Structure 1
Amino acid sequence: MIKSRSTKIGDWVIAFICLLCVLVCLLPLLNILARSLSSADALVKNEVLLLPKGLNFDAYMTVLGDSKYTWSLLWTAILTVICTVWSMFMTVMCAYPLIYDNLKGKKTIIAIILFTMYFSAGTIPTYLLLKELHLLNNPLVLILPNSISVFYVIIMRSFLFGIPDSLRESAELDGAGPLRVLISVYLPLSTPVLATLALFYAVGRWNGFSDALMFMSDRTYFPIQLLLYNILNSITSVEVATQEGFSNPGLSETIKSATVMFATVPILLVYPWLQRYFISGVTIGAVKG
């Protein structure tokens, strides 16, 4: 197929825009990487842009040699896995019944679910509720309150709704119940949307820190992002700097940059494994139904 000149120009414009988006995302990361590998003198003189000056790995040795960082990273990884598995279970269990036309009160249930998407009680009522449930300063407070996303439920339901009813009816004729149909028919066909939503949930939990900031005081269960938040703020707070193990608020720029890389790279490594499911999972789940 021969493309017209206007089509070729359009392709080049789109490619240029995509390149700009890539650079906008990539250049700050390269700058942080260069700063984490540079000497303190080079950073003080503001000589570091995209390439490290005075190459050294002291910052990474400091970060990896401190049990506070390694445990926070390990705890965040464990928390991310638990939250992702639990959230996916809740999402599937919520979305799957809504594809049945004979579900009693289906419209009411959908209306209630959609209502929670646009309206919430707010931070203070949520805090008081968690306090009454004795979840404050409890690791479960990082898992249960945000265990499901209404938007992701809608995507999941749309994807399941797009699977031909004939497949379900064939399984039901063979004596399969609703749970068996879900496990044997729907889930094997839903790999793209499952992988995509799992990635969304995992990234959201890995990057989350506001819930721990508001509801947790036990530093043992601080996720890596909250630890990073405290470290980056320590340059202006003597109290936080002391808590983080630094004798003064003038935290080394190399340590801060290394900590940012330390908290960012692990979740970035997940994307290549799920990339092939990403586009199909989002587009199919979003337009069907």
Structure 2
Amino acid sequence: MNKFRSRGEKAFDVFNILLLAAAAAITLFPFWYIAAVSLSPIEQVMRGGLILWPESLTLESYKLILTNAHFTRALWITVALTAVGTLTNLVLTALMAYPLSKKRLKGRSALLFLVLFTMLFSGGMIPSYLVMKWLNLLNSFWSVIIPSGISAFNLIILKNFFQGIPEELEESGKMDGCTNTGVLFRIVLPLSMPAMATFTLFYAVGHWNQFFTSILYVTNSKLWPIQVVLRQMIIQGSTEEFQAAIANETTEIMPTTIKMAAIIVATVPILFVYPFLQKHFAKGVLLGSVKG
């Protein structure tokens, strides 16, 4: 590092730091405000104005949210949907990307064309709904998972990633008795952890935040994920279950604080996924694979 830096370089660094700090503050401010309102007493919220720090901490809104059967059921449905959906996405994407990464595969160009075609054109909402209805998948868990089983964009990236793995590693695995499936799961996928971790995060966030597919295919409110319930609370005031719960509460709670608490509860779980995956992002693709 050069110790003798010009004033222009130092000024540029200061400008970058201030700019990034301002961008971070703008990004974090909505989350901070929502958390502050959700923890604020009703008197402070009723006075209005900008709340940056609660006068006294109260967890009444969180208590009401987490003890409501409708909300907790939606939360567990979302957890299960995210886990099963992400696993399904990763398996299907890897199983299709691996053979497409081999130039010796017959019909490879035609299959790649079909994959790219889906990135530009789709059947549309009504045909997709009719297909789900014909398959008897409406109001089911799989109606939300199957339509997004494979992302064409992620498939292309993973295919290119597999192509970068040396063929010699796969050939050595076959010499040791591995089948194509064994090579994929014992050699290729372990070397592809950075890519798989990235796609795990993409797919998980997509499943956790999706609500339009559930609105389209799921009409039973007992099967709604958390984002649909949250949408009902924010846009349409509150659900009937929450209206009944609020009416039965002995302590008066501002509906705004309930909405803010619901947003925090629906947002925080998916934020904890990233720390478990970030260690794989910077790892080398072939780290340790050529060592004796």
TM superposition score normalised by structure 2: 0.87
Deviation at 1:178, TM superposition (A): 1.2
Q: Where does residue 242 of structure 1 map in the other structure?
A: 240
Q: Whole-Å Cα distance in 1 between the matches of residues 284 and 35 of structure 2?
A: 32
| Contact map agreement 1:208 1:225 (CA 8 A) in 2 | yes
Distance 1:49 1:281, change over 3 A: farther
Q: Residue deviations 1:207-238, cap 9 Å, x none?
A: 11111111111111110010000011233xxx
Deviation at 1:13, TM superposition (A): 4.0
Q: Where does residue 2 of structure 2 map in the other structure?
A: 2
Q: Where does residue 134 of structure 2 map in the other structure?
A: 132
Deviation at 1:96, TM superposition (A): 0.5
2:255 is the alignment partner of 1:257: no
Distance 1:215 1:103, change over 3 A: same
Q: Residue deviations 1:140-192, cap 9 Å, x none?
A: 10111111111111121121111112211222333322111111211111111
Q: Where does residue 176 of structure 2 map in the other structure?
A: 174
Q: Where does residue 197 of structure 1 map in the other structure?
A: 199
TM superposition score normalised by structure 1: 0.88
| Contact map agreement 1:34 1:49 (CA 8 A) in 2 | yes
Q: Residue deviations 1:3-27, cap 9 Å, x none?
A: 7435555544443343233222211
Q: Whole-Å Cα distance in 2 between the matches of residues 262 and 180 of structure 1?
A: 41
Q: Residue deviations 1:191-213, cap 9 Å, x none?
A: 11111101110110001111111
Q: Whole-Å Cα distance in 2 between the matches of residues 96 and 64 of structure 1?
A: 43
2:107 is the alignment partner of 1:92: no
Distance 1:17 1:106, change over 3 A: farther
Distance 1:43 1:15, change over 3 A: same
Q: Where does residue 269 of structure 2 map in the other structure?
A: 266
2:155 to 128, 153, 156: 153
Q: Residue deviations 1:56-84, cap 9 Å, x none?
A: 11101111111111111111101110001
Moved more, 57-66 or 130-139: 130-139
Q: Residue deviations 1:268-289, cap 9 Å, x none?
A: 111111122246699xxxxxxx
Distance 1:101 1:10, change over 3 A: farther
Aligned AA for 2:222?
A: T
Distance 1:157 1:261, change over 3 A: same
Q: Whole-Å Cα distance in 2 between the matches of residues 106 and 61 of structure 1?
A: 55
| DSSP-derived class of the 1:245 partner | helix
Determine what percentage of the aligned residue pairs are the same residue: 37
| Contact map agreement 1:117 1:150 (CA 8 A) in 2 | yes
| Contact map agreement 1:231 1:256 (CA 8 A) in 2 | yes
Q: Whole-Å Cα distance in 1 between the matches of residues 38 and 89 of structure 2?
A: 35
1:76 to 62, 78, 81: 78
Q: Residue deviations 1:237-261, cap 9 Å, x none?
A: xxx643643589x971000000000
Q: Where does residue 37 of structure 2 map in the other structure?
A: 35
Q: Where does residue 250 of structure 2 map in the other structure?
A: none
Count of paired positions:
277
Q: Residue deviations 1:88-113, cap 9 Å, x none?
A: 00010110001111100111111110
| Contact map agreement 1:34 1:48 (CA 8 A) in 2 | no
| DSSP-derived class of the 1:74 partner | helix
Q: Where does residue 287 of structure 1 map in the other structure?
A: none
Q: Where does residue 167 of structure 2 map in the other structure?
A: 165
Q: Whole-Å Cα distance in 2 between the matches of residues 70 and 281 of structure 1?
A: 40
Q: Where does residue 289 of structure 2 map in the other structure?
A: none
Distance 1:150 1:60, change over 3 A: same
In structure 2, list runs of 5 or more residues that go unmatched: 248-252, 286-292
| Contact map agreement 1:37 1:55 (CA 8 A) in 2 | yes
Q: Whole-Å Cα distance in 2 between the matches of residues 243 and 123 of structure 1?
A: 30
Q: Whole-Å Cα distance in 1 between the matches of residues 161 and 233 of structure 2?
A: 42
In structure 1, list runs of 5 or more residues that go unmatched: 283-289
Distance 1:195 1:129, change over 3 A: same
Q: Where does residue 184 of structure 1 map in the other structure?
A: 186
RMSD: 2.3
Aligned AA for 1:147?
A: G
